[in-house]
Homo-oligomer: A and B are copies of this chain.
Amino acid sequence: MPRLFLFVGADQGDWTVTSQRTLAGEGLAPVSAVTMLGTEAAPGSGTWALRGITSNERYVERAEKTQLLAVQEGLSRPQARCAALIPIRKTAAWWALTQDERRAVFEAQSHHTEIGLRYLPAIARRLHHCRDLGEAEPFDFLTWFEFAPEHTSAFDDLLAALRASPEWAYVDREVEVRLSR
């Protein structure tokens, strides 16, 4: 199973950009398409390339994992013609918290997993970590979402709920790229 993925923003690619906006911090150069590559391939002629690696879960506990596994679906469903790439970076204050403090913000205060569960199986998601790939990564996480067009408003609601949570006070860079194929 590949773990390292490259997201290339360019003039052409697998997914057509339908909107691109910056929610916090520095943006990304506007592109017309995004392609997700399953290996650390050469980024070629893209405008930008972001890399991230799937990893072990950092907050989810067994009872939550059991719930997630029971309902979540994978990427590449034929009906999932909409996608979103959301790179975020968290503040130094976040990374200085201890595990119990981060877990408290993530779930007890922000209900991150609980909110995500409400939108399953409609919204499929894969989280990629960047922070420990090297010293100079521009983001900490790249989240990739896929859903059918009729679930677009549910996806809007999911993002609104997460962004209104205490956890988002620790987000200092966020870009949202909406896509279709």
Contact = CB atoms under 8 A, between A and B. Distances in A.
Interface of A: 2-4, 40, 53, 55-62, 64-65, 95-103, 129, 131-135
A62 B101 CA distance: 7
> Which 5 pairs of residues, A with B, have the shortest CB-CB distance?
A61-B100, A132-B132, A56-B95, A62-B98, A65-B98
A70 to B, nearest CB: 15
15 contacts: A3-B135, A4-B135, A40-B135, A56-B97, A57-B98, A58-B58, A59-B99, A61-B98, A61-B99, A61-B101, A62-B101, A64-B98, A99-B99, A129-B132, A133-B134
A133 B55 CA distance: 10
Given A55-B131, A133-B133, A135-B2, A99 B103 contact: yes
A94 B130 CA distance: 21
Nearest to A52: B132
Given A57-B98, A61-B99, A99-B61, A40 B2 contact: no
B55 A132 contact: yes
A60 B100 CA distance: 8
A17 B51 CA distance: 37
Given A60-B99, A61-B98, A132-B132, 11 more contacts: A40-B134, A56-B96, A57-B99, A60-B98, A61-B100, A62-B98, A64-B98, A65-B98, A99-B103, A132-B133, A133-B134
Contacts of A129: 132
A53 B98 contact: no
Contacts of A57: 98-99
